[in-house]
Chain A
């Protein structure tokens, strides 16, 4: 079963614009992670935010976490055509031993 739900399911923007994706989850977590998947390929780890953190940055990525609302957002600034991919949030639930539960993903298309 999938814990997370991503919103929107699909997003289309122009190169240079910012892209925001949201993730909601249901249970208490140790951390939340974001992954990128290019079409038909494996997943690439982007960023991990722990339950005691509220915001984290990595290059053009900004992730926020609100544990009271059980939600997270991923912001990609100054998007590029190469950012076109599916983005998944995954939660590491308390006492789950690093077993990740993935959401359904947001399919991002960045038009040149």
Chain B
């Protein structure tokens, strides 16, 4: 069964450093989402892509976060500089189209020291 791939699975970094996460959606899925999940809470949407275009990034802290999906397939989420409060699980999801079921990857757990 096709799955959403994410790497790395775990990342430890020091504050003020740059980090990047990668996501490869299920083949053929046009819509891609990045979520942040703080321990003990539900996921919160950061950014949504439809193909290579950003549909919504209203919750993305744009002073330090950036996301791209240049060819409309895989995607990268970057944080620069990382802050202690960025420690969380970063989840990627994809769906065939808008209003279709979202399938989640295993996540990248980030710890900022």
Contact = CB atoms under 8 A, between A and B. Distances in A.
Contacts of A98: 31, 48, 95, 98-100, 102
Contacts of B93: 43
A105 B102 contact: no
A45 B101 contact: yes
Contacts, number: 62
A40 interface: yes
B41 A2 contact: yes
A88 B44 CA distance: 12
Contact of A105 (B42, B48, B99, B100): B42
B15 to A, nearest CB: 23
A109 B104 CA distance: 22
Among all A-B residue pairs, the 9 with the closest Cβ atoms: A102-B42, A42-B104, A43-B104, A98-B98, A42-B106, A98-B99, A102-B43, A88-B42, A42-B107
